[in-house]
Structure 1
Amino acid sequence: MIEIERKFLVKSMHFVDNAVSSTKIVQGFLNTHPERTVRIRIKEEKGFLTVKGKSNETGTTRFEWETEIAHIDAQKLLQLCEKGVLEKTRYLVPFEGHNFEVDVFDGENKGLILAEIELTTESELFQKPHWLGEEVTGDIKYYNSQLSKQPFNTW
């Protein structure tokens, strides 16, 4: 239940050509405390409840627990979330033995495109596709919980 990931800005839409899937996501936060976040997410017709712990010093590693919940329950829980529900399309893009999840944000975060890669260790090496931009791992303003409070279009 430990998540190790790195996050990057995306500098072009060229990733779409290699995407193997795209999924509409709506998510909100029941709790955005610095020590933990509790998220409700709807991916297409499935609901999820996720708890994430505080990131380590580098921002790459943290506790994550997720379970699927009924779609109707997720819809009801979204109504209880803190202000700032996020909408995005997630693309799954395989590249050189790894998968990048690329989020194209809508709504108040329109114009922001982020890519994440999950790793098995913090020091794991991986190839970077040409469309990958600046690394923003550990920069809390790019955390979804913060984007819900301070959207990209307000920066």
Structure 2
Amino acid sequence: MGMEIERKFLLASDTWRSQVSRSQRLVQGYLVSAHLVTSGASKSSVRVRIGGEQAWLNIKSSTLGVARQEYEYEVPLADAEAMLARLCDGVVEKIRHYVAHANHEFEIDEFFGANDGLVVAELELDSVDEAYERPDWLGAEVSELPRYYNLNLIAYPYSAWTAAEREGQG
């Protein structure tokens, strides 16, 4: 891996639902607190994620923006479950839906729990300036807004956001 180039978007409608090819429930937590990452005290976030019967440990640089260093390693499911239960301050739960559009695959995350109601589309690219076609259902880009990072959704969940923040402003 080494580098992740990812754009995040709000959704303009839910017409994407009819185009979903598959979905997967994900549960993830962070082993380094959001405060340390966002304050600059930590150079990376360290996440444990479970999807179905698989689990991964993921390390991402804490820089803001579209391009970030990323490393991911498969770990035993039992270890991931133990880390989530014993070492994380909370979890983010979501269903990830996969939607193909014009030679790209969008990952649409539909959140639950304290983040219920938040739905964000992500698009991984090969380069920062790679061209992609925007589907009609894609809304405003929020890649540069840290509150949309999964790490921050534990400490400051969607249920606590103001109306302006929910619309991609503020």
Q: TM-score range by the shorter chain?
A: over 0.9
Instruction: Work out the CA distance in 2 between the residues paired with 1:28 and 1:134.
Output: 27
Write out per-residue CA displacement over residues 110-141 of structure 1, whole angstroms, 9 at most, x where no aligned residue: 00000110111111110111111110012100
**2:50 matched residue in structure 1:** 42
Alignment of 1:23-42 (within 5 A): 23-31=24-32, 32=34, 33-34=36-37, 35-42=43-50
- Please state how far the C-alpha of 1:79 moved relative to its aligned partner: 1.4
Instruction: Within 5 Å, give how 1:1-12 maps onto structure 2.
Output: 1-12=2-13
Q: State the alpha-carbon separation in 2 of the partners of residues 12 and 44 from structure 1.
A: 28
The 3-state SS of whatever aligns with 1:148 is: helix
1:82-101 counterparts in 2 under 5 A?
Answer: 82-101=88-107
5-14 or 78-87, larger mean C-alpha shift? 78-87
The answer to whether the aligner puts 1:154 opposite 2:160 as a matched pair is yes
**Secondary structure at 2:152's aligned position in 1?**
helix
The structural deviation recorded for 1:16 is 1.5
The runs of 5 or more residues in structure 2 that have no matched partner are 38-42, 162-170
* Partner in structure 2 of residue 20 of structure 1: 21
Q: Which runs of 5+ in 1 are unaligned?
A: none
* Pairwise CA distance, 1:19: 1.1
The alignment yields a C-alpha RMSD, in angstroms, of 1.1
Distance 1:77-1:104 versus aligned 2 partners, 3 A rule: same
Question: Following the alignment from structure 1 to structure 2, what is the Cα–Cα distance between the partners of residues 152 and 10?
Answer: 15
Higher strand share: 1
* Aligned-partner Cα distance in 2 for 1:66–1:137: 21
- The count of corresponding residues between Structure 1 and Structure 2 is 153
CA shift at 1:9, angstroms?
Answer: 0.7
* Amino acid across the alignment from 2:114: E
Distance 2:44 2:4 in 1: 14
TM-score scaled by length of structure 2:
0.86
Separation in 1, partners of 2:152, 2:92: 10
Within 5 Å, give how 1:95-110 maps onto structure 2: 95-110=101-116
- Does structure 1 residue 142 correspond to structure 2 residue 148? yes
Maintained 8 Å contact 1:30/1:80: no
* In structure 1, C-alpha distance between the alignment counterparts of 2:13 and 2:30, rounded to whole Å: 29
Pair 1:114 & 2:115 matched = no
Q: Which whole-Å CA distance do the structure 2 matches of 1:25 and 1:112 have between them?
A: 15
The Cα shift of 1:15 comes to 1.1
The share of aligned pairs that are identical, in percent, is: 39
